[in-house]
Amino acid sequence: MERSSENELIIQYAVIAIHNALQGAVTVALREADISDTWKNSHAKKWENVELPKQLATGGMYQPDKFPQLNVFMDLYDKYFNDKCNSIDRERIENLNKHRNEFIHFNTDYLSIEKQWIIDSCREGIEAISHIVKEEKQLFGNEYNFFQEILKEAKQKV
């Protein structure tokens, strides 16, 4: 973000990177309790009585219909943050998600966004990641301090 005045695409890349990092952190945290917490509800129901190793056996062939799909980002976010943290602004996270989707899925050559609003949304995404890292310290093991340093640096640059 500190170089965004040099190249407007940097904001786009930052939105995508922060969103991806947040989605990864939320997914890892939810998986710790139960892997099906990360799946779409219809897929979780379909799989609730299936013996996982047998279902995943594909004979070396890629069979996408055999694998459950990850739930949509805001549903994952809500599952994790619902009762855990009131200090994260959901509206900004939703804005981060919306713009990430626009950048990934649509031609954005003429997309107009308010720069400060998207920067604030990126900051909120980093805060959400920080919250997960602190709350789920055991998931990061020996890398916990490394993640803390990266997040500290990211907060300073956004």
Q: Which amino acid is at 76?
A: L
- pLDDT tens figures, 24-69: 998 888 877 666 666 666 766 666 666 555 555 555 554 556 666 6
pLDDT at site 139: 83
Q: Tell me the pLDDT tens digit for each residue of 79-100.
A: 888 877 778 899 999 999 998 8
Asked whether the whole model's pTM tops 0.85, one would answer no
Return contacts of 134-140, CB within 8 angstroms, 24+ apart: 135/29, 135/84, 135/85, 136/25, 136/28, 136/29, 136/32, 139/28, 139/29, 139/32
> In 1-158, which ranges are continuous DSSP H helix?
9-33, 41-47, 52-56, 73-81, 90-105, 115-135, 137-140, 144-157
Question: Helix, strand or coil for residue 39?
Answer: strand
Cα–Cα distance measured from residue 43 to residue 62, given in angstroms and rounded to the nearest whole number:
18
Identify whether the C-beta of residue 41 lies closer than 8 Å to the C-beta of residue 71.
Answer: yes
Domain ranges within the chain, ordered by starting residue = 9-33+72-157
Question: What's the token pair of residue 2?
Answer: 């500190």
Helix (H, G, I), strand (E, B) or coil at 70: strand
